[in-house]
A = this chain, B = another copy of it.
Amino acid sequence: MKELTTGQLAKQSHVNVETLRYYEREGLLPEPSRSESGRRSFSPDMVARIRFIKRAQELGFTLKEIKELLSLRADPSVTCADVMEQIQEKIQEIDQKVNHLLAIKKALEHLSTCADLNPASECPILENLSFERSEACCKES
């Protein structure tokens, strides 16, 4: 396999050239070797590394966390259990986010119900948003 230029790596990994430079700055990519004229020369392995980064992003990891994952991988004293732990944490975070969103949804649905019950009157939705919680919203049932 040949080494890749910045542009080639960018194309193959479906990211912007500037993004590669940004990842390098942020320590997500190792400093590549350079040609005599100073141009970057990337190992083809970097395609997989960027796929890793993008996939992990999709999975809800921040670049900072991904950097940690990548350094875990580089450290031979790290066990599979260490990685498992990070993933379990991430799953819990996701559960929390989902629960928060569902609570918000419930509140919004409640506001909708209020509106249904007040067809011809002034819209109570916006006023209800002013309340601390929306319990005191509707004319009872």
Contact = CB atoms under 8 A, between A and B. Distances in A.
User: Chain A interface: which size bin?
Assistant: 35 or more
Interface in A104-129: 104-105, 107-109, 111-112, 115, 118-119, 122-123, 125-126, 129
A98 interface: yes
A91 interface: yes
Interface stretch (A4-12, A17-25, A28-36, A54-62): A54-62
Given A83-B123, A87-B125, A94-B104, 4 more contacts: A87-B111, A90-B108, A98-B101, A98-B102
Interface of A: 48-49, 51-52, 55-56, 58-60, 69, 72-73, 79-80, 83-84, 87-88, 90-91, 94-95, 97-98, 101-102, 104-105, 107-109, 111-112, 115, 118-119, 122-123, 125-126, 129-132
